[in-house]
Structure 1
């Protein structure tokens, strides 16, 4: 493996003899050595062989290069960033260096089944009008154990329990409203369907939702393969876990990313049929920011969010929060 602390990978020759199209596996990582080893293992063990695996370490305190080197797999290309780029810029840097016809993102703490690429690439090859192919996924804990109740809840919440195998075109409702597509761990994307430069830094942790938006906007369709071919890990360092713990500042940042993203969606005439949904989500995010500001005793900052939310999409939740903003903090902070 070649160590680099610059902004580019040490690119190796592409295998031109393969009959299969090249797939670029994108693995951004930061300070998760044990999980990273498992993620890379699930990539190198793919039954679909024509892949390049781009691992970009975002300036971890200790470079994971020894972990990568231990695989002794020429398909792995490693880079250790000279500075911390942040999540979106790090992922974007890998995407731009990818040479595959298709790209598949693999979080450094998630896992793929061995047949993940084998089952999702053929539908894309068979139909050039598809932007991506996606599947369902398991929810696993820190040790990789499957949480079956949470898995079933996730499948139902994101409406994959009622999806039949096949093509969905257009798939805006499916991807953006119902969140059935999980590009962060359970999709293979046609690279030409996505321009990473169109993803604003303000989307933050909602970058995967914004990918769905851009792929839908391309006019191409999506193919659903109705099996759980990946494993999404929930643990103490994960974005999902940190938000669920009701940390005020984390929640505010997350909701502000939603406010930005839904504002963009509402402004796009190509999604005008879905605008009522985006208005509700925007107003809910505005209310959530207001509530978290109340918890932090920042009442003056909270009220503008609540007034705007009430004007856009009135709800009892927003009205209750606004009312509480005029009560003593000791009472409002319990809301």
Structure 2
């Protein structure tokens, strides 16, 4: 292939994961695509990871440390704002890349100037770094990548926001010039990668899908997906609030009118999820308001109706029943 080798900014926000961070950075510095800058932004970890970063003795790494914890979103977006590259790629501190990840992604962007991002499939690994093929295949199917054809998809709203096949947090390289990082407000929170997909796909922009698994996503007890699965009320509330905000924004975007009914479903589903989280944290009255709002705005939803019924059950019984959600 004949293409330039533009600078790629590797964005690594981190907090209190020194061993994982070392593995993530190792996978970055070992990329066969060499023209990179690696931006590590530490969110005031109890143990300063500067020594880990300096141990690589790699001038391509730039290290920033916040004087106080700014929250996950602010730390992440702040790191993106430090980027100088033509392209940006997120490498979270608990994930890893295959050595040829950037070497295979960058040419796709260079040869197709009308696409906003290039994305691929990824492995799922456990806390110890071992690839879990059952979880990997399940993830590929859950996000509809198993039937997704290689090549340009334009527009790609369905892949970005409905199926969420493209995941900028884990396995995508983005054209930096199309993103205004000031758009990211605190309400977006953990949905920042979906919101980044929104920015990339709105207006009919395209994306290139490369079906090979070139990155590794780590599942462990500190991830929000695992916490939500373990019925952690705080994580559920946090996730639902960010979904309500983001899907509300998508509903307001008339360029996405074709998908508004699907966004409305997800928006209402998030209301019920938030209510369930609130009930688990004993905020029953507030939970009922979200459930009633969701019921009034849809014809019928069994999950919402059952949750509302549970809110009137005795506390002990309600706590038992909530365990089924």
**TM-score, shorter chain, exceeding 0.5:** yes
- Name the SS of the counterpart of 1:25 in structure 2: strand
1:322 to 2:299 alignment: no
Residues 79-158 of structure 1: pairs in structure 2 closer than 5 A: 79-158=64-143
Contact 1:295 1:334 in 2 (8 A): no
Q: Hey, what's the Cα distance between the residues in 1 that align with 2:128 and 2:309? A: 44
- Name the SS of the counterpart of 1:334 in structure 2: helix
Q: Hey, what's the Cα distance between the residues in 1 that align with 2:130 and 2:170? A: 17
- Name the SS of the counterpart of 2:57 in structure 1: coil
Give the match for residue 39 of structure 1. Answer: 24
| Higher mean C-alpha displacement, 235-244 vs 119-128 | 235-244
| Aligned-residue offset at 1:140 | 0.2
> Which stretches in structure 2 are left out of the alignment for 5+ residues?
none
| Aligned-residue offset at 1:19 | 4.5
Give the match for residue 11 of structure 2. Answer: 26
| Aligned-residue offset at 1:112 | 0.2
Q: Hey, what's the Cα distance between the residues in 2 that align with 1:108 and 1:292? A: 28
Q: Hey, what's the Cα distance between the residues in 2 that align with 1:89 and 1:268? A: 24
1:277 to 2:262 alignment: yes
Q: Deviations over 1:22-57 (max 9, x none)?
A: 000011111111000000000000000101111111
| Aligned-residue offset at 1:291 | 1.9
Give the match for residue 230 of structure 1. Answer: 215
| Aligned-residue offset at 1:218 | 4.6
| Aligned-residue offset at 1:245 | 1.0
Q: Hey, what's the Cα distance between the residues in 1 that align with 2:72 and 2:281? A: 26
Contact 1:101 1:191 in 2 (8 A): yes
> Which stretches in structure 1 are left out of the alignment for 5+ residues?
1-17
Q: How many residues align?
A: 318
| Aligned-residue offset at 1:95 | 1.2
Q: Hey, what's the Cα distance between the residues in 1 that align with 2:54 and 2:98? A: 22
Contact 2:4 2:110 in 1 (8 A): no
Contact 1:29 1:57 in 2 (8 A): yes
Q: Deviations over 1:66-93 (max 9, x none)?
A: 1111111111111122222211111111
Residues 159-308 of structure 1: pairs in structure 2 closer than 5 A: 159-308=144-293
| Higher mean C-alpha displacement, 296-305 vs 94-103 | 296-305
| Aligned-residue offset at 1:325 | 2.1
Q: Hey, what's the Cα distance between the residues in 2 that align with 1:210 and 1:187? A: 14
- Name the SS of the counterpart of 1:54 in structure 2: strand
- Name the SS of the counterpart of 1:161 in structure 2: coil
Runs of 4+ in 1 over 4 A off after TM superposition: none
Q: CA 1:33–1:68 in 2, change beyond 3 Å: closer, same or farther?
A: same
Q: Hey, what's the Cα distance between the residues in 2 that align with 1:261 and 1:49? A: 36
| Higher mean C-alpha displacement, 320-329 vs 310-319 | 320-329
